[in-house]
Structure 1
């Protein structure tokens, strides 16, 4: 975690400089304009279903219940749930603006970085899309922005502890919005501990451990309490178990695609109908870009609950004996979501309003694809085959920025480096769980790299000093 901090006499005493104020103002005004232009937001199949659940107050685990709950709150404040986009936009743009405010007196590059960031579809469009992935990314970014100000505001004990608790609560929201978002919590705890250890003038290790423990306790405590509260409004279905069963079916068919000689003898003996389906229709329905064609059919729906033990046994038998085959399967599925070789097939964004007819009718929604929606889509489309819509490019930028900030190691640098490390770790987690190549799954990576670039541009002048 490091040693006690040595104060640099060249560090400006004024915490906020003019370049940061200008860039932060641009980000806030640009963010408000982006959300307003797309008002009342872009609604896809998932978001329409989640709003319907939020209005009814009964949630299922196919979608994160916290998103449905928040949509329900937004719906009660203003019919239609459009205020949810205000929450998403506030999390994203307020966090970016807070990092821009850290720019130093000579850091005018932050203004150019903010302008370029605002021009990307990831900021110009995505915060107005009602997706759990945007909620997750905004909450996670806000948590690490709190940690950056935690480092900056260290001289004030009340401020720093308030920011630490706030960061923990935001991480809990992120974890509730995406299951694998839990992976961010230990990264943030280490980050908070490292910052505390470098700032403390006495017992740095003890201060570091205490800070990390508080963040862990708040984040996990709020996440567990929130999950328990949301479960009281569950529909009682075993959606999570079905999701894991379908993932195993998907991986087994993928294994057979890579090795046509792979068979399913356990299924043949204990679940003959499922075995016949996987051998017969499985190859035709299998798609490396999406699990849906394989598992959304009557055979899987009719047998997946009863056949779950046999499916698990068969999955273990195949991959325990051939771990290299499992790695090949996961590498190919991860390649689809990380590299997105066919960007149009990976839903790079969603504009307008569209959803299942029954839920649309209950909500009073009508299908929408307006002239404004067409402008938004056409603008984004111009970037589809550029590095702007390449997770690999954003990952390279994130890794480079993380290394540079870790070499500098100011308290705020550690927080932003922690953000980038969390984004890269979150991305890597999809190696084990990816089931589709939807671009939004790794939106957090893109957003973190943009935030890191804005922060680094504003503080580069200080580094040269």
Structure 2
């Protein structure tokens, strides 16, 4: 029943969103697919997969849409079927309801690395959950598929390592907590060490300078707060320009890359070797921790969409794609109507990453309190992955797009659902605390949306705001 429902939902989703929504990043990456020349600003692993599919079936963005939608509904369908098989039919239908929620499904229609990552991770969790929830061993072939999916997921986003490695470590059975922690840390370090050689040497991607963006953003954030600080790699005149032109914004780093505005001010930083640049950033953080914390917390509030304006930008799924001359088209009006409906939900707390952080933390504590069993173990893996990913945004993030949080929000929802059948006294206390914290978080967010002025609706407007 759940398998049929998820298959029908997949067909309906593809029919609705065909041939996929192509945004600026999509068009840029498809241009690389056609030219055969890749850079590391966009994930070369995705471009290589796209090029392979393009050579076989063509179809512009459609093969990537089919892949990310199929993996999305496969993951949800397998989890729902697994829950149904153990008698938790309501939970199974709730899983499919999560999948169909417009702000989630609407973003899965955009052919982007975020949707690719989300689909791959959901499919991997679904494969493990299908056997584990029914009390069966996961076959070797399924583990092989999970490994391929997670390897792709970790290569398709620069910060995916903070979600993928914790998930992988938690899915492997039989490890003690200390061993899992050690393996997780080692795995993150290992992936970070090999991702560069894989992208540049194996996949042949040219260096775009993307690895400097975080350091430039953070150094600029410190500089405008303590402009007289010694040791900054930009001079006083440049810092004064950063302040005068409002180059540093909590919302995103983009003004620093605008040629007519701030790019020239930070241009010298783009010629400093990345290792030296990050060593300089580490020294400035140690010397001015409050300035750094103020900068990062301002951005974290923005990307987590907590105390921000109503209609905070870059949240609604796109209704149309980027105009292009590469043959990438748009879905019909029905898809635009769906995306418009999804856009009306972006100010609902269920579309705030900060709310899902509380949900994930509550589910994590409940799972820790329970004895090991399949649903609890899967919930613990999902909540750990969600919290690790969201924690990484405190120090590694330069933009506030909602799509960056898709996996974390979905993982938190599934984690909570998997442990929603508990009735123990300890669990009720945790649930009460979690609900209280969530109420306070939501109340503060609602108050901010009522009191703060509306932001510009366009990207250009946000640059100048």
Coarse TM-score class (shorter-chain normalised): 0.7 to 0.9
Deviations 1:16-61 (A, max 9, x none): xxxxxx3343233223312320111111101111111122222111
Q: Is 2:215 the partner of 1:254?
A: no
> Secondary structure in 1 aligned to 2:412?
helix
Of 299, 322, 325 in structure 2, the residue corresponding to residue 354 of structure 1 is 322
Q: Is the 8 A contact 1:339 1:391 kept in 2?
A: yes
Match of 2:292 in 1: 326
2:174 match: secondary structure:
helix
Helix, strand or coil at the partner of 1:175? helix
Could you tell me whether the CA contact under 8 Å between 1:351 and 1:377 is conserved in 2?
Answer: yes
User: Do 2:250 and 2:299's aligned partners in 1 also have CA atoms closer than 8 Å?
Assistant: yes
Instruction: Could you tell me which runs of 5 or more consecutive residues in structure 2 were left unpaired when the two chains were aligned.
Output: 424-465
State the Cα distance separating 1:460 from its structure 2 match: 7.0
Q: Which has the higher contact order (CA 8 A, sep 6+)?
A: 1
- Partner secondary structure for residue 82 of structure 2: coil
Q: Distance in 2 between matches of 1:144 and 1:226?
A: 26
Spell out the pairing of 1:376-391 with structure 2 (5 A cutoff). Answer: 376-391=338-353
- The answer (yes or no) to whether the contact 1:132–1:178 under 8 Å persists in 2 is yes
Cα offset, 1:62, TM superposition: 0.8
Q: Could you give the per-residue CA deviations for residues 73-99 of structure 1, whole angstroms, max 9, x where no partner exists? A: 333312312110111111111011111
| Distance of 1:238 and 1:384 partners within structure 2 | 33
Say whether 1:59 aligns with 2:24: no
Secondary structure of the corresponding residue to residue 150 of structure 2: helix
Q: CA deviation at 1:282?
A: 4.2
State the superposition RMSD in angstroms.
Answer: 3.6
2:206 alignment partner in structure 1: 236
Query: Is residue 306 of structure 1 aligned with residue 257 of structure 2?
Result: no
Q: CA 1:313–1:419 in 2, change beyond 3 Å: closer, same or farther?
A: closer
> Which residue is equivalent to 2:94?
113
Alignment partner, residue 461 of structure 2: none
Tell me, in whole angstroms, the C-alpha distance in 2 between the residues paired with 1:316 and 1:152.
45
Match of 1:294 in 2: 256
Task: For residue 336 of structure 1, give the secondary structure of its aligned residue in structure 2.
Answer: helix
* C-alpha distance in 1 between matches for 2:206 and 2:113: 21
Q: Structure 1 residues 448 and 313 mapped into 2: Cα distance closer, same or farther (>3 Å)? A: closer
Deviates more, 1:142-151 or 1:34-43: 142-151
Q: Report if the CA contact (8 A) 1:27-1:118 is conserved.
A: no
Q: What TM-score, normalized by structure 2, do the two folds share?
A: 0.76
Q: 1:220 to 1:162 in 2, by over 3 A?
A: farther
1:144–1:418 contact (8 Å) kept in structure 2? no
Per-residue CA distance 1:180-207 (angstroms, 9 max, x = gap): 22223542354244x336xxxxxxx7xx
SS state at 2:20 partner: coil
Native 8 Å contact 1:74 1:81 kept in 2? no
1:315 and 1:191 map into 2 onto residues whose CA distance is 33
Tell me, in whole angstroms, the C-alpha distance in 2 between the residues paired with 1:317 and 1:185. Answer: 30
CA distance 1:220–1:164, shift in 2 (3 Å)? farther
Distance 1:220 1:172 in 2: 13
SS in 1 for 2:395: helix
Distance 2:331 2:249 in 1: 28
- Counterpart in the other structure of 2:374: 411
Which residue in 2 is equivalent to 1:97? 77
- From the superposition, tell whether residues 166 and 372 of structure 1 become closer, same or farther in structure 2 (CA, over 3 Å): same
Paired residue for 1:196, among 149, 174, 177?
174
Query: CA contact under 8 A between 2:103 and 2:317: conserved in structure 1?
Result: no
CA distance in 1, matches of 2:179, 2:133: 19
Distance verdict in 2 for CA 1:271–1:323, change over 3 Å:
closer
Runs of 4+ in 1 over 6 A off after TM superposition: none
Rounded to whole Å, the distance in 1 between the matches of 2:190 and 2:146 is: 12
* Distance in 2 between residues matched to 1:139 and 1:456, nearest whole Å: 23
Give the alignment of 1:3-82 within 5 angstroms: 22-76=1-55, 77-82=57-62
Aligned to 2:112: 131
